[in-house]
Amino acid sequence: MSASPETTLLSRYQRLSDQPDEMFAANGQVRTTWQYLADALDALGVDNLRQRHTQARRLLRERGVTYNVYGDPQGQERSWDLDPIPVLIGSDEWAQVEGALQRRAELFNLILKDIYGPQELLQRGLLPAEVIYGHGGFLRPCHPYDPDLAHPLTIYAADLARTDNGRLHVVGDRTQSPSGAGYALENRVVMSRAMPSLYRESHVHRLALFFQNLRASLAALAPNRGQDEPSVVVLTPGPLNETYFEHSFLASYLGYTLVEGGDLTVRDGRVWLRSMGRLEPVDVILRRLDDDYCDALELRGDSLLGVPGLTEAARRGNVALANPLGAGVLENPALHAFLPGVAQHFLGRELDLPTLPTWWCGDPDSLDHVLAHLDELVVKPIGPGSGPATLFGSAMDASARDALAQRIRRAPHRFAAQQQARFSSVPTLGEQGLEPRAATLRTFLVGRPDGYAVMPGGLTRIAPAPGELNASNQAGGVSKDTWVVASEPVREVSLMSTEGGMDTPMDRSAALPPAATENLFWMARYAERAEHGLRLLRVIQRLQRTAQDYRDPLDQQCLQTLLMALSRVTDTRPGFLAGDPALLADPMPELRSVLRDPGRVGTVAFNLQAMLAASHAVRDRLSQDTWRVIGNIRTRLADGGDGDPGPELDDAITLLAALRGLQDDTMVHSQAWSFLELGRCIERGLLTSSLLRATMSTALDPRLESRVLEAVLSHLESVNAYRRQHHQVAQARPVLDLVLLHERNPRSVGYQLARLKAALQALNSGAHDSGLSTEERLVLEAHTALQLSDADRLTRADAASGHRPALDQLLARNGRLLDRTARRLAESYFSDPRGPRQLTAANTDLQETS
pLDDT of residue 63: 85
pLDDT at res. 844: 34
Which SS3 state, helix, strand or coil, does residue 632 take? helix
Q: Assess whether pLDDT exceeds 60 at residue 76.
A: no
Instruction: Decide which of 449 and 342 is more confident.
Output: 342
Q: What pLDDT does residue 634 have?
A: 87
Model confidence at 849, in pLDDT bands (50, 70, 90)?
A: very low
> Cα separations (Å) of 535 from 146, 234, 565, 577, 645?
61, 39, 12, 19, 12
Query: Would you say residue 788 has pLDDT above 70?
Result: yes
Across residues 507-520, what is the average pLDDT? 78
What pLDDT, on a 0 to 100 scale, did the predictor assign at position 147? Answer: 83
Higher pLDDT: 235 or 77? It is 235
What is the DSSP-derived secondary structure letter of residue 30? B
Residue-wise DSSP of 532-554? HHHHHHHHHHHHHHHHHHH--HH
Residue 5: per-residue pLDDT:
42
Band (pLDDT 50/70/90 cuts) for residue 72 is: low
Q: How many CB atoms lie within 10 A of CB 602?
A: 17
Task: Examine the pLDDT at 832 and tell me if it is beyond 60.
Answer: no
Quick one: average pLDDT of 110-130? 96
pLDDT of residue 842: 38
End-to-end CA separation in angstroms for the chain: 98
pLDDT band at 822 (very low <50, low <70, confident <90, very high): very high
Q: How far apart are CA 114 and CA 404, in angstroms?
A: 34
Of 410-424, 468-482, 706-720, 747-761, which gets the smallest average pLDDT?
Answer: 468-482
Read off the pLDDT of residues 346-389 as tens digits, 9 standing for 90 and up.
Answer: 999 999 998 999 999 999 999 999 999 999 999 999 876 655 67
> To the nearest 10°, the Cα dihedral for 225, 227, 229, 234?
-50
Cα separation, 309 vs 311, in Å, equals: 5
User: What is the CB neighbour count within 10 angstroms for residue 800?
Assistant: 6
What are the structural domains, with CATH classification, of the chain? 357-420 (3.30.1490.270), 516-666 (no CATH), 669-834 (no CATH)
pLDDT in tens, 555-599: 899 999 999 999 999 999 999 998 888 998 899 999 999 999 999
**More confident site: 306 or 550:** 306
| pTM over the 0.85 mark | yes
pLDDT of residue 70: 62
Using a 10 angstrom Cβ sphere, with 0-12 exposed, 13-18 middle and 19 or more buried, the burial of residue 78 is middle
- When pLDDT is averaged across residues 237-253 and rounded to a whole number, the result is 92
pLDDT of residue 769: 59
Residue type, 20: P
99-108, 498-507, 665-674: which is most confident: 99-108
Measured CA to CA, the distance from residue 396 to residue 401 in angstroms comes to: 6
Mean pLDDT across the chain, nearest whole number?
A: 88
Residue percentage of the chain with pLDDT more than 70? 90
More confident residue, 778 or 71: 778
Residue of 423, 410, 417 lying closest to 463 (CA atoms): 423
Confidence of residue 16 (pLDDT cuts 50, 70, 90): confident
Alpha carbons 187 and 84: distance in angstroms, whole number:
10
pLDDT > 60? residue 839: no
CA distance 29 to 273: 58
pLDDT of residue 502: 38
Note the pLDDT of residue 292. 92
Burial class (CB in 10 A: 0-12, 13-18, 19+), 56: buried
Digit-coded pLDDT (tens) for 745-769: 999 999 999 999 999 988 887 655 5
Q: What is the pLDDT of residues 436-492, one digit of tens each?
A: 999 999 999 999 989 999 999 999 999 887 767 665 655 556 899 999 998 777 766
DSSP-derived secondary structure for 475-529: TT-EEEEEEEE-SS------SSSSTT--SS----TT---HHHHHHHHHHHHHHHH
Lowest mean pLDDT among 35-49, 64-78, 674-688, 802-816: 64-78
φ/ψ (deg, to 5) at 718 = -125, 15
Whether 756 contacts 821, CB under 8 Å = yes
* Percent of all residues in the chain with a pLDDT value above 90, rounded to a whole number: 71
Handedness of CA 447, 448, 454, 456 (dihedral sign): negative
